[in-house]
Structure formats: C-alpha cells, structure tokens
Amino acid sequence: MEDNILEVKGLKQYFPIRGGVFQRTVGHVKAVDGVSFNIKRGETLGVVGESGCGKSTLGRSIMRLYKMTAGQVLFNGEDFSKLSKKELRKKRLEMQMVFQDPYSSLNPRMTVGQIIGEALTDHKMGNREEVRKKVKETMELCGLPQYYINRYPHEFSGGQRQRIGIARSLAVDPSFVICDEPVSALDVSIQAQIINLLSDLQKQKHLSYMFISHDLSVVEYISDRVAVMYLGNIVEMAPKEELYKNPLHPYTKALLSAIPIPDPKATRNRIILSGDLPSPANPPSGCKFRTRCPIACEKCAQSVPEYRNIGNNHYIACHLVGAQDASAESKPQTNENATL
Ligand code: SF4
C-alpha cells in the first residue's frame, strides 16, 4: 500500500548455535520469529518488551545489518530483502538508524563535522563546501552550535553526543529512522530533550520512526501505535491510546502495571510474572508466554495462539482474549512488591 512506508511480512531472524568438534549447527536462537507489521508515512511505531525479546534484532534485521532467515521487508513498496549489496548501500540512505549508546557509536578519532558528513562524502553527495554547509545546517537543526564542528566526541556530554548521532542520521535526508533505545543511556532530564528533538524533527522533515525502547512511558509519549514483543513475536499491537487504556494481553498488562506513578499517594497493583524470559533457543511449546502467564490454561501449551485483529486496529495473540469465559478465568495474581 502506498500509504505505508514500511511493510514487514513474516520476518524471521535465526542465529545458528554451533557445537561439537566440527562446529556443526546444533540449533538456532530464534531472535525474531515471524513478525509482521506496517508503518505509515509520518507515523511512529513504538516497539517495547523486556531486554532479550528481540526488539533490537528486529530493527537491525529491517536495516539488513543481518542476513534475514525468512520474510520480506518492503520499503516504499520495494523489496528491501532482495537488493544487491550495491543497491542496498544506496537505499540505506533513505533508512537510517540512531543507536543506543552515544559513547561507543561515535568514532573518537573523527571530528563532529567528519562524523556528520561521513555518509555525504562517501556517497559523493556534494563537494567539500556543500558537504560542510549541509553539516552545519543539520547541526543547527539538531541543536548543536556550528562552532562545535571541529571538536571531538570526548568533549561532549551524553545528550550532546546523542544529538551528534541524530545529526549523522539526518544529514542524508532519510524518510525513515529506526531509533534503537536512543535515550536509555541518558539522564532523565536529558531524555526529555532528546525525545522532544526527535518529535520536532519528525514534524519538520516528515519522518517516520520505529522507536525501540524498554521504557513504556517514553514510548507512550512519542508513539502513534505500540507493538509489544515477547520472545521474538509481537503479542499485542494497537494505537497508543487503545493499548494504554485497554491492554488485553497478560504480558502487556504486566508491563503496564510496572510503570511508576508520579504521585506518592497513588498505588497500583503490580502483576507478578514468575521466572525469567525463557531462552529463545528453546522456547516453550504453544504460547511462548505460557510459562510466566498468570492465566495460562491447557490449550496454551498445545497450540500457538493466532495473531489476529480484534477490532479498532487492535491485534493480539492470546487464546483467552475474546473468548466468552476469558474474563472469569483471567484473574491475575497481584502483589504490591512484585517486579517483572
Ligand atoms: Fe497466557 Fe495462554 Fe494467552 Fe498465552 S495464550 S497469553 S499463555 S492465556
């Protein structure tokens, strides 16, 4: 569909586990296991989930930083998964990524000007003066004074470094940006500045974002729609207002119950999730969430729940949601002190 800037269909990203004398493949880590969604032009899709759920791998697979195992990625209607290396290099200019760690993602030997202008120079997008002019314009856009152009990354704070990272991504005028935990390594006060900067840039440059984060408050602020991932699959996806007001999947409910309320008098019952995230190399049968789900039933171990639209653009993968007797059965255990 023309309206979509990105369509992901059945994306799988498996990594081989090698063992034995001959280092044969003895299994696979199923980091992303059949994920489908779309992102509209100008939209922000938030992707949330615990550490290890596959959200960052999903972003990197879309960028084709890994060779995907199966599935399709259509970018502006073009099959991104079938491009040659040369075509991919060119196309990647339209799809950029902002990384989590502003300390390790910038080359300490390069000046700010060289970092931001690197892709422009590599792709011969102008002569020296033109590149320098574009770098300065992008710096201004990202709230960096132009006189920083000859300084090195170690001279900057975390927030400023992330601004440099954002400027590097935007210098080539992309239409789609994958933001992989862009504020997780920053102080809370700086987080707000970077989120506001990303929002402003989106309006000015008509960008579409995929915003990956484990912080549901941040995702709520910036996203139009939110996808919740668990062990390589999207278990629930809905417009932001719908998901935060009416979460249906037990995992989403548990995640939302752990968001702190900024009122010392207010209380919230937290939902217990027992155990750790199972290994993606050996996920549970049926519903992958069943080993931690407070309302799991027999059927959950036997069959994989269908990922379906239950109305209002609200997608969910759970046997019990929508079933007549689900509400009677679904009484989650609660505990004030429980954590995820
Ligand atoms: Fe829980 Fe079963 Fe629904 Fe999975 S399918 S979330 S185990 S109730």
Q: Which atom of ligand 1 is nearest to the CA of 287?
A: 4
Q: Is the CB of 296 under 6 A from ligand 1?
A: yes
Cβ within 8 Å of residue 78, ≥6 positions away? 91
Written as tens digits, the pLDDT of the chain (340 aa) is 458 999 999 999 999 999 888 889 899 999 999 999 999 999 999 999 988 899 999 999 999 999 999 999 999 999 987 888 889 888 889 999 998 887 788 999 999 999 999 999 999 999 999 999 999 999 999 999 999 999 999 999 999 999 999 999 999 999 999 999 999 888 888 899 999 999 999 999 999 999 999 999 899 999 999 999 999 999 999 999 999 999 999 999 999 987 777 777 777 677 878 777 899 999 999 999 999 999 999 999 999 999 999 988 999 999 998 654 444 444 443 333 333 3
6, 7, 8, 9 alpha-carbon torsion, rounded to 10° = -170
Strands 78-79 and 24-40: unpaired
Q: Which atom of ligand 1 is nearest to the CA of 305?
A: 5
Cα–Cα distance measured from residue 268 to residue 340, given in angstroms and rounded to the nearest whole number: 14
Q: Which of 228, 318, 325, 327 to mutate to test the pocket of ligand 1 (most atoms within 8 A of CB)?
A: 318
Cα–Cα distance measured from residue 134 to residue 203, given in angstroms and rounded to the nearest whole number: 19
Q: Which of 319, 329, 330 to mutate to test the pocket of ligand 1 (most atoms within 8 A of CB)?
A: 319
Residue 47 CA to ligand 1 center (angstroms) comes to 20
Q: Is 189 exposed, middle or buried (0-12, 13-18, 19+ CB in 10 A)?
A: exposed
Q: Whose CA is nearest to atom 5 of ligand 1?
A: 318
Which value, in Å, is the radius of gyration of the alpha carbons in the chain? 21
Residue 272 CA to ligand 1 center (angstroms) comes to 15
Cα–Cα distance measured from residue 249 to residue 3, given in angstroms and rounded to the nearest whole number: 28
12, 18, 19, 25 alpha-carbon torsion, rounded to 10° = 60
Q: State the number of CA atoms in the 13 A half-sphere of 131 facing the CB.
A: 19
Domains of the chain: 4-246 (3.40.50.300), 264-340 (no CATH)
CA 280 to chain CA centroid, Å, is 18
User: Residue 123 corresponds to which amino acid?
Assistant: H
Question: At 321, which helix (H) or strand (E)?
Answer: none
Residue 322's pLDDT is 60
Q: Which atom of ligand 1 is nearest to the CA of 293?
A: 1
Q: Which of 293, 299, 303, 325 to mutate to test the pocket of ligand 1 (most atoms within 8 A of CB)?
A: 293
